Amino acid sequence: MYEEIINKLSKNDRRAVARSISNIENGDSDADILLQEVASKVGGAYRIGITGPPGAGKSTITNHLTKIYIKENKKVGIVAVDPTSPFSGGALLGDRIRMNEIGQYENVFIRSMASRGSLGGLCKKAIDAADVLDAAGYDIVILETVGVGQSELDIAQAADTTIVVLVPESGDSVQAMKAGLMEIADVFTLNKSDRPGADQAETALKTMISLKYHDENTWLPPILRTIASENKGINELNKEIERHEKFLKEKNKLLPKREEQMKIRIRNIVQEKLNDEIWHSGNENFLNSSLKNVTLGNISPYQIAEEIIINYKNHK
Amino acid sequence: MYEEIINKLSKNDRRAVARSISNIENGDSDADILLQEVASKVGGAYRIGITGPPGAGKSTITNHLTKIYIKENKKVGIVAVDPTSPFSGGALLGDRIRMNEIGQYENVFIRSMASRGSLGGLCKKAIDAADVLDAAGYDIVILETVGVGQSELDIAQAADTTIVVLVPESGDSVQAMKAGLMEIADVFTLNKSDRPGADQAETALKTMISLKYHDENTWLPPILRTIASENKGINELNKEIERHEKFLKEKNKLLPKREEQMKIRIRNIVQEKLNDEIWHSGNENFLNSSLKNVTLGNISPYQIAEEIIINYKNHK
């Protein structure tokens, strides 16, 4: 059965792609098997991460970039991650609707994923979905996420090139995540750059970047100015993405980068699996029956945690 | 040795408190034993969580609330959590400096904790620190955090009363986390309420609250207006905290609430412990030596993850 799906995936059967991603999203028990099969087919796609604060214009940029790729006859898979949605009840729905336009294209596949469980779980699933798209032969896979929590880090850890989208007035929130953005950004885009404050924002970014240690082997993130709503600056943005891809390949940095990312990913998979497994068997009941005693201070939560782990290890 | 520390803790030996919290923060191997001892002494303190976006005035509110408690002859322990600090390099340092004023009081203990590892790990340590303060006889423990990622959820899961501090212009970011805030807020504080937009913000909050299902046993979060920088509205805020405490106690909801929180906490402890343990033994090396093969698609990351878990379970 899986061979069939894999077969269909490689032929870019859209329904097979959609169903596979649904399996992953629902956490179906057979999703793991699917992903094991998919694993041998990945590596062909170039992965672009797009992140930034809410309302910065990420979807609009994704939209226009995608149109460029379509013209180049490339197939584009888009996974849009909304880590805020259990809170917002779909605040980003508007963006999704706007994106439906490019969703009409034969060579574009869009999937948006919203948080049901943990943030980490969501990002893990998004990366799995990217694998499916990669295996299905998409040339470009775009992972888009609102930079909330550490979703921007998680997504950057799955992208070959990460674009951080800011707006002139991002000021404060950028301040708070400065160094973090410096870590992940391969390209900065100052969107809505016709708004006041663009010059100051660019200067601030430039200063940050210049402070970063660098030699001739270091990629220093360029700062682009875009007005995505008017499709301004998107070609230049695409040029910078291409330049970064070329840099990674020529300097033999792409594979090592992907290996580093794989390391983090496997660690996350292990953590999630463990967490799934451990609450099976009698541990859930044991936990529930201990709560009163722990809360009253008769036993320490650490003791209970210890026992739960021992139970788990002894169980088969 | 631990008996001695516990002994000193119960006598509110400040140095013992400080050292214990440092042990926890550093993840010292004996911190677990300490916490097991501490567990039997907790439950006496009332725990207040204070969260909200950066710059909303949380520290100033904490400051003024603490002064009220000091006048009531209460001992106040404060754990301030800064989840943004690996990114900001101490953006909140200013707040800490402002708080030094109350830190001079004999009956006040302040500790700020910044993120070194994961966000979840940080919040776990903050809750452990709250236990230490509780065991040391502090009447009130205030847990303060910037609402970033899910830190506000984590902290709310350790507080009896959670105060969400907003400002009139919070607008957008509040929008994005609305329902989440509704879940955790026992009291809303609209700080800097002399700024434009306060009326609209209050109306929006009121609408949200009224939409929440409620009967006569439901606590509906009140909305306070404060100007913390001028110490305005803080007495009223304190009155609402007291009213909420009374509500929880009279309706017999405090213990069940703490049990529910304990459940989540133990789950987090288990997850953290597992994650610590599993990377010992040969698994780290095994992971590193597999990376190239996984990245090239020869093996699936899921297969490697599986093997790592099996190794772990078989090891002793």
Long-range CB pairs of A260-266 (<8 Å, 24+ gap) are A261/A157, A261/A158, A262/B291, A262/B294, A262/B295, A262/B301, A263/B287, A263/B288, A263/B291, A264/A157, A265/A124, A265/A127, A265/A157, A265/A158, A265/B301, A266/B287, A266/B290, A266/B294, A266/B301, A266/B304, A266/B305, A266/B308
Residue B21 domain-assigned (yes or no): no
Across the beta sheet with A187-190, the strand order is: A108-114, A76-82, A140-146, A46-52, A161-166, A187-190, A223-225
**Cβ contact B87–A179 (<8 Å):** yes
Token pair for A244: 């970064």
- Give B 134-173 residues with CB within 8 A of chain A: 146, 148-150, 172-173
Instruction: Identify the CA nearest to B148 among candidates B123, B126, B167, B127.
Output: B123
B184 and A CB contact within 8 Å: no
In a shared domain, residues B94 and B128: yes
Write down which residue in A210, A237, A252 finishes a domain. Answer: A252
pLDDT mean values, one per 10 residues, chain B (316 residues): 76 88 85 85 94 85 95 95 54 52 85 71 87 95 81 86 88 53 88 89 84 83 95 97 97 95 92 85 89 92 93 80
In a shared domain, residues A46 and A194: yes
Residue A258, CA atoms < 13 Å, CB-side half-sphere:
23
B285 and A CB contact within 8 Å: no
In a shared domain, residues A150 and A204: yes
* pLDDT value of position B120: 67
Task: Determine the residue among B274, B310, B311 to mutate to test chain A binding: the one whose Cβ has the most chain A Cβ atoms within 10 Å.
Answer: B274
Please state the pTM of the whole predicted model.
0.77
Residue B85 domain-assigned (yes or no): yes
Question: How many Cβ pairs within 8 Å bridge chains A and B?
Answer: 188
Number of domains in chain B: 2
* pLDDT value of position A36: 84
Task: Determine the residue among A274, A275, A278, A285 to mutate to test chain B binding: the one whose Cβ has the most chain B Cβ atoms within 10 Å.
Answer: A274
Could you report how far apart the first and last alpha carbons of chain A are, in Å? 29
Residue A283 domain-assigned (yes or no): yes
In a shared domain, residues A233 and A301: no
* pLDDT value of position A83: 67
**Cβ contact B259–A55 (<8 Å):** no
Q: Is A43 exposed, middle or buried (0-12, 13-18, 19+ CB in 10 A)?
A: middle
* pLDDT value of position B254: 96
Strand-pair category, A46-52 with B76-82: unpaired
Q: Report d(CA B305, CA B265) in Å as an integer.
A: 25
In a shared domain, residues B201 and B291: no
**Cβ contact B89–A150 (<8 Å):** no
Task: Determine the residue among B24, B42, B115, B270 to mutate to test chain A binding: the one whose Cβ has the most chain A Cβ atoms within 10 Å.
Answer: B270
A222 and B CB contact within 8 Å: no
A220 and B CB contact within 8 Å: no
In a shared domain, residues B51 and B127: yes
Token pair for A29: 């028990």
- Give B 21-40 residues with CB within 8 A of chain A: 32, 35-40
In a shared domain, residues B224 and B284: no
B274 and A CB contact within 8 Å: yes
In a shared domain, residues A299 and A232: no
Q: What pLDDT tens digit does each residue of chain A (316 aa) get? A: 667 877 888 787 889 999 999 988 888 877 878 888 898 889 999 999 998 877 788 989 999 999 999 999 999 999 988 766 444 434 444 455 556 677 788 899 998 887 655 666 778 889 999 999 999 999 999 999 877 656 777 888 899 999 999 888 765 545 545 556 777 899 999 999 998 888 888 888 888 788 777 788 899 999 999 999 999 999 999 999 999 999 999 999 999 999 999 999 999 889 888 888 898 768 899 999 999 999 998 999 999 999 999 999 887 5
Write down which residue in A252, A269, A303 finishes a domain. Answer: A252
Residue B168 has what DSSP assignment? G
* Ramachandran angles phi, psi of B220, nearest 5°: -100, 125
Task: Determine the residue among B266, B271, B285, B292 to mutate to test chain A binding: the one whose Cβ has the most chain A Cβ atoms within 10 Å.
Answer: B266
* pLDDT value of position B94: 47
Strands (E), B158-214: 161-166, 187-190
Quote the domain boundaries for residue A292: 279-314
In a shared domain, residues B55 and B116: yes
Q: Which residue of B has its CA nearest to A272?
A: B271
Residues of B in contact with A295 (CB under 8 A): 43, 255, 258-259, 262
Q: Which of A86, A273, A308 comes nearest B305 by C-beta?
A: A273
Write down which residue in A209, A236, A252 finishes a domain. Answer: A252
In a shared domain, residues B187 and B115: yes
**Cβ contact B259–A302 (<8 Å):** no
Residue A272 domain-assigned (yes or no): no
Residues of B in contact with A313 (CB under 8 A): 312-313
Q: Which of B265, B297, B312 comes nearest A39 by C-beta?
A: B297
A277 and B CB contact within 8 Å: yes
* pLDDT value of position A93: 46
**Cβ contact A309–B263 (<8 Å):** no
Stated as kind and residue range, the H or E segment containing B27 is: none
Residue B11 domain-assigned (yes or no): no
* pLDDT value of position A217: 86
Residue A117 domain-assigned (yes or no): yes
Residues of A in contact with B262 (CB under 8 A): 291, 294-295, 301
Q: At what angle do helices B14-26 and B31-39 cross, to 10 degrees?
A: 130
Bridge partner list, A50: A144, A163
Q: Report d(CA B90, CA A207) in Å as an integer.
A: 18
**Cβ contact A271–B270 (<8 Å):** no
In a shared domain, residues B121 and B215: yes
SS3 for chain A is CHHHHHHHHHCCCHHHHHHHHHHHHHCCCCHHHHHHHHHCCCCCCEEEEEEECCCCCHHHHHHHHHHHHHHCCCCEEEEEEECCHHHHCCCCHHHHHHHHHHHCCCCEEEEEEECCCCHHHHHHHHHHHHHHHHHCCCCEEEEEEECCCCHHHHHHCCCCEEEEEECHHHHHHHHHHHHHHHHHCCEEEECCCCCCCHHHHHHHHHHHHHHCCCCCCCCCCCEEECEHHHCECHHHHHHHHHHHHHHHHHCCCHHHHHHHHHHHHHHHHHHHHHHHHHCCCCHHHHHHHHHHHHHCCCCCHHHHHHHHHHHHHHCC
Q: Can you give the CATH number for the domain in which A182 is found?
A: 3.40.50.300
* pLDDT value of position A230: 94
In a shared domain, residues B297 and B223: no
* pLDDT value of position A178: 53
* pLDDT value of position B30: 79
Residue B35 domain-assigned (yes or no): no
Task: Determine the residue among A40, A116, A154, A270 to mutate to test chain B binding: the one whose Cβ has the most chain B Cβ atoms within 10 Å.
Answer: A270
Q: At what angle do helices B301-314 and B283-295 cross, to 10 degrees?
A: 170
Q: Report d(CA B9, CA B33) in Å as an integer.
A: 14
